[in-house]
């Protein structure tokens, strides 16, 4: 029976698992309930090895094929964490916890990989080994990095990594597979603007940090427009602006700006870094203030798909849907699966979530219809990348 028909048979079960994860979202490195359920199911499926507590709250399982002569090991990864957002979907199975929500569909990713695990442990129609990676803390927590530091590649002998993210706006259940860069790098920064606070009615006695900070916000956009090669991509977004006052008549002593950088190219990163510092410093100085720019640790690189691995991913996508993967451009959101792809070649694909609300939106919901399709893709990857002799 074709893989996808087998998955259609347990679509209801997958939906039940997904909605349960959805009701009980857990933030980065707090995925205790999720990880316990994942591990319990992996044990029940008869995986050869189930390791818990890998990367704090991560779970890793091993399924050996009917044959292992190829000596090849594929790592399949799903992320498990939710976001600090209060859900506004009004769904019967909406988050039970205010301020926590599966608004990026990681509940669906975890379920699809669990579904694949169930099928693969039962059938084992492949020649090699599958390592299932249930990663914690994708949302800015460095979960992938921690798992790699704890020896994910070496301990399980992983040769290639594959993963999947749902994507609103792509037709439900269709795949997008891109060679080369797919998602951008991301880094966070803070600019602290210092001046001299004072009475709002006597600005000449103060150094106005609100004015200086506003100038920085405006001037910063010139970096992308005037310093980055127009044929390259970059984003600088200042997303937070907070002064040390919250009144109507006090000029603040300090204003703090927070923002994010996106880019694909290391050279672009270097140019942006240099120019941001110069622009912040001088834009503040124009108003007599001082600005200090700090780049935060925890930046992630661009997600770059290996050409050969993308070819294998497309073969599996065609086998599952009977159609060519849809064509897309690279996107500026980032993904810490990039770190796994830096360690070993592999491919990250998008699966269409249909016309849903956007990722990270309080109205977003993962589309249950695509659960069997995504699970089929993982299973088909195993069977087509490592076929039985
Ligand atoms: Ni996500």
pTM value is: 0.92
Burial of 297 (0-12, 13-18, 19+ CB in 10 A): exposed
Q: Distance (Å, rounded) from C-alpha 389 to C-alpha 386?
A: 9
Question: Ligand 1 centroid vs 106 CA: distance in angstroms?
Answer: 6
**How is domain 2-182+302-385 classified at the CATH fold level?**
Aminopeptidase (3.40.630)
Domain boundaries, the chain: 2-182+302-385, 185-295
pLDDT digits (tens, 9 = 90+) for 265-284: 989 999 999 999 999 999 99
Euclidean distance between the first and the last CA atom of the chain, given in angstroms as a whole number: 19
Question: Ligand 1 centroid vs 195 CA: distance in angstroms?
Answer: 39
- Higher-confidence position of 297 and 122: 122
Query: What residues form DSSP beta bridges with 350?
Result: 165, 176
The pLDDT score that the predictor gives to residue 174 is 97
Total number of residues shown for the chain:
389
Question: Ligand 1 centroid vs 254 CA: distance in angstroms?
Answer: 34
Question: Ligand 1 centroid vs 387 CA: distance in angstroms?
Answer: 30
pLDDT digits (tens, 9 = 90+) for 125-163: 999 999 999 999 999 889 999 999 999 999 999 999 999
The pLDDT score that the predictor gives to residue 298 is 82
Query: 263 with 332: CB under 8 angstroms?
Result: no
How sure is the predictor about 9, in pLDDT bands with cuts at 50, 70 and 90? confident
**2-182+302-385 and 185-295, same CATH topology:** no
Question: Ligand 1 centroid vs 287 CA: distance in angstroms?
Answer: 41
Average pLDDT score over the chain: 96
Q: What percent of the chain has pLDDT over 70?
A: 99
Question: Ligand 1 centroid vs 214 CA: distance in angstroms?
Answer: 32
How sure is the predictor about 3, in pLDDT bands with cuts at 50, 70 and 90? low
Query: What residues form DSSP beta bridges with 131?
Result: 62, 75
Containing 257, the helix (H) or strand (E) segment is: strand 254-263
Question: Ligand 1 centroid vs 178 CA: distance in angstroms?
Answer: 18
pLDDT digits (tens, 9 = 90+) for 185-234: 999 999 999 999 999 999 999 999 999 999 999 999 999 999 999 999 99
Q: Is 185-295 a CATH 3.30.70.360 domain?
A: yes
How sure is the predictor about 1, in pLDDT bands with cuts at 50, 70 and 90? very low
Question: Ligand 1 centroid vs 314 CA: distance in angstroms?
Answer: 21
CA neighbor of 53 nearest in space, from 108, 134, 162: 134
Question: Ligand 1 centroid vs 296 CA: distance in angstroms?
Answer: 21
């Amino acid at each position: 029976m074709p893989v996808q028909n087998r998955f259609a048979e347990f679509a209801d079960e997958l939906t039940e698992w997904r909605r349960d994860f959805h009701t009980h979202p857990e933030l980065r490195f707090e995925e205790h309930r999720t990880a316990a359920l994942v591990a319990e199911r992996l044990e029940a499926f008869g995986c050869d090895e189930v390791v818990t507590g890998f990367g704090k709250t991560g779970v890793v399982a091993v399924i050996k094929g009917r044959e292992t002569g190829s000596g090849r090991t594929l790592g399949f990864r799903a992320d498990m964490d939710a976001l600090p957002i209060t859900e506004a979907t009004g769904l019967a199975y909406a988050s039970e916890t205010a301020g926590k929500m599966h608004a990026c569909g990681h509940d669906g990713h975890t379920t699809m990989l669990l579904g694949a695990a169930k099928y693969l442990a039962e059938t084992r129609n492949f020649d090699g080994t599958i390592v299932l990676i249930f990663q914690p803390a994708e949302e800015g927590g460095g979960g992938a990095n921690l798992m790699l530091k704890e020896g994910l590649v070496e301990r399980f002998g992983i040769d290639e990594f594959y993963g999947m993210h749902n994507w609103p706006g792509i037709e439900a259940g269709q795949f997008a597979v891109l060679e080369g860069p797919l998602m951008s790098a991301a880094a966070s920064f803070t600019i602290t603007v210092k001046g001299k606070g004072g009475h709002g009615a006597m600005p000449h006695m103060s150094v106005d940090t609100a004015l200086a900070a506003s100038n920085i916000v405006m001037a910063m956009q010139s970096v992308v427009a005037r310093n980055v090669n127009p044929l390259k991509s970059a984003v600088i977004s200042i997303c937070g602006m907070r002064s040390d006052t919250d009144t109507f008549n006090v000029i603040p002593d300090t204003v703090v700006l927070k923002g994010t950088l996106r880019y694909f190219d290391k050279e672009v990163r270097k140019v942006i870094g240099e120019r941001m510092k110069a622009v912040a410093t001088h834009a503040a100085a124009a108003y007599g203030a001082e600005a200090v720019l700090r780049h935060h640790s925890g930046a992630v690189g661009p997600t770059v798909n290996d050409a050969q691995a993308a070819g294998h991913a497309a073969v599996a996508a065609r086998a599952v849907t009977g159609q060519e993967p849809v064509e897309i451009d690279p996107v500026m959101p980032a993904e810490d699966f990039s770190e796994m792809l830096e360690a070993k070649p592999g491919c990250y694909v998008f699966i269409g979530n249909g016309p849903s609300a956007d990722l990270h939106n309080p109205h977003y919901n993962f589309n249950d219809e695509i659960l069997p399709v995504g699970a089929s893709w993982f299973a088909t990857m195993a069977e087509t990348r490592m076929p039985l002799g």
